[in-house]
Amino acid sequence: MKHYTHLIAGNAVDGTSGRFAPIYNPSTGQQSAEVPLANVSEVEQAIAAAEAAFPSWSGTSVLQRARIMTRFTALLYKHQPELAELVSREHGKVIEDAMGSVLRGIEVAEFACGIPHLQKGEFSDNVASGIDIYSMRKPLGVVAGITPFNFPAMIPLWMASMAIITGNTVVLKPSEKDPGCPMRMAELFLEAGGPAGVFNIVNGDKEAVDCLLNDSRIKAVSFVGSTPIARYVYETATKNGKRCQAMGGAKNHMLILPDADLDGVANALMGAAYGSAGERCMAISVGVCVGDEVADRLIELLTPRVKALKIGTSLDKGLEMGPLVTAEHRAKVMNYIQMGVDEGADLIVDGRDFKLAGHEDGYFLGGSLFDNVKKDMRSYKEEIFGPVLQLMRVQNFEEGMALATDHEYGNGTSIFTRSGAAARTYADRVEVGMVGINVPIPVPLAFHSFGGWKASSFGDHNQFGMEAVRFYTKVKTVTARWPESTIEADFSIPTLK
């Protein structure tokens, strides 16, 4: 059984707290590793290492930082299969999905390599006689990243790549459920020539998180997880004077108009609802059908496909879905399915009885499909985060758009239609942060940015893209004069002539 450590100042550091968390292989239900849960002194040690590394790293030329990031990106590509296997073994994603999730993280590291251009300031020459004004974007200092279990490669790379390239040093606390991939990526950063102390990993639970949120040396915190924890992280971090971006949960709607290609919609819903066993904050968990004819046809198309989902162990190829991450999370999803039944929704396909032969102890569920879900149902209001698709029936476009707009969460949504006018209206008016038009999972590419609205996101800046450059830097503006003669005293507010 593997024993993980922390990675502090470039060194593997054994846990000293005496507390450990088990890591399971979701396909077998067997423990495969254990990870130490850091105490306050270990987190403080990592913060101290990052603080010590900051002056040198922030003073490193932007070109040199970019060269190190370029080498790091090349190593990530080289080790992509290894990283994906770590994701599959500890999280349960099927290997093809794991490979894709690693790639989406690498794309942000690639974007970060352009930092010599991205971090440029602004310059205005001769705004008055002999006076120039220019601005610079300076790093914040030591920043923290707190990442979830569902994307143990992608989201750590979203945070660490952009924080490091802008001249900050990082303390990352990955999920204790699947820390193997973040640990390996931090090792690859050192192999790429990254200085010790720039990228540190502390494994832990709430004790570690609270230490990061309360330590005055941490200047900014980036978080992805559930909405209750995101709200707690944001409130605690900002109360302590830190910048914070905290991404929470989601309930993503797909609005399906009568003119849509319903065969294409069924294909899109299968991947968006059941891919990664529904453990995606951008999963489509609600299909909103305009008219009974659309709903009836989709039920007809989806039912046999949901029943025939190709489910197996995470490292098997050619599959559509693997296990859920833990036994506890599997039980939580099953409880939501029962809740939907108790609330009166029609359970068309029940995935709770699925068993994989030879892997009966794995954390598997089949896909579940509901019809006639109503907006007052708790199972609709809350995030299920599992392989469950809920269909709702509405009478018109406005009623369907209102469901996404009025919901507590506002992470992502999509519309499927042949009408450009309807799509444009939906994209403009729906109160959701990311919109797909005939695209089921509208996760932006690395040169844009990722972020929801309402209870899906707390803070003023999104993840990656130019939003991340702004989040991880502060602006310094310089007004400069090189006089040819002595400056005279002036006691009025400065005006430029």
Asked if the structure places residue 443 within a domain, the reply is no
Per-residue tens of pLDDT for the chain, all 497 residues? 899 999 999 999 999 999 999 999 999 999 999 999 999 999 999 999 999 999 999 999 999 999 999 999 999 999 999 999 999 999 999 999 999 999 999 999 999 999 999 999 999 999 988 899 999 999 999 999 999 999 999 999 999 999 999 999 999 999 999 999 999 999 999 999 999 999 999 999 999 999 999 999 999 999 999 999 999 999 999 999 999 999 999 999 999 999 999 999 999 999 999 999 999 999 999 999 999 999 999 999 999 999 999 999 999 999 999 999 999 999 999 999 999 999 999 999 999 999 999 999 999 999 999 999 999 999 999 999 999 999 999 999 999 999 999 999 999 999 999 999 999 999 999 999 999 999 999 999 989 999 999 999 999 899 999 999 999 999 999 999 987 777 677 777 766 55
Asked if the structure places residue 37 within a domain, the reply is yes
Please give the Cα distance from 344 to 340 (Å, whole number). Answer: 7
232 plus 314 within the same structural domain: no
Neighbours of 210 (CB within 10 A): 16
- Count structural domains, the chain: 2
Asked if the structure places residue 487 within a domain, the reply is no
- Residues 108, 464 contacting (CB under 8 angstroms): yes
- Residues 454, 118 contacting (CB under 8 angstroms): no
Query: Is 113 among the catalytic positions?
Result: no
Instruction: Give the per-residue pLDDT at 496.
Output: 58
Catalytic residue among 113, 211, 244, 281: 281
Instruction: Give the per-residue pLDDT at 220.
Output: 98
Q: What is the CATH number of the domain that holds 7?
A: 3.40.605.10
257 plus 164 within the same structural domain: no
pTM score, whole prediction: 0.94
218 plus 324 within the same structural domain: no
194 plus 260 within the same structural domain: no
156 plus 273 within the same structural domain: no
Asked if the structure places residue 444 within a domain, the reply is no
Instruction: Give the per-residue pLDDT at 497.
Output: 54
Asked if the structure places residue 351 within a domain, the reply is yes
Asked if the structure places residue 321 within a domain, the reply is yes
261 plus 244 within the same structural domain: no
Instruction: Give the per-residue pLDDT at 451.
Output: 93
Asked if the structure places residue 210 within a domain, the reply is yes
108 plus 196 within the same structural domain: yes
3-state secondary structure of 4: coil
Burial class of residue 496 (count of CB atoms within 10 Å of its CB; 0-12, 13-18, 19+)? exposed
- Domain range for 327: 252-437
Q: What share of the chain is helix, strand, coil (3-state, %, to 5)?
A: 40, 25, 35
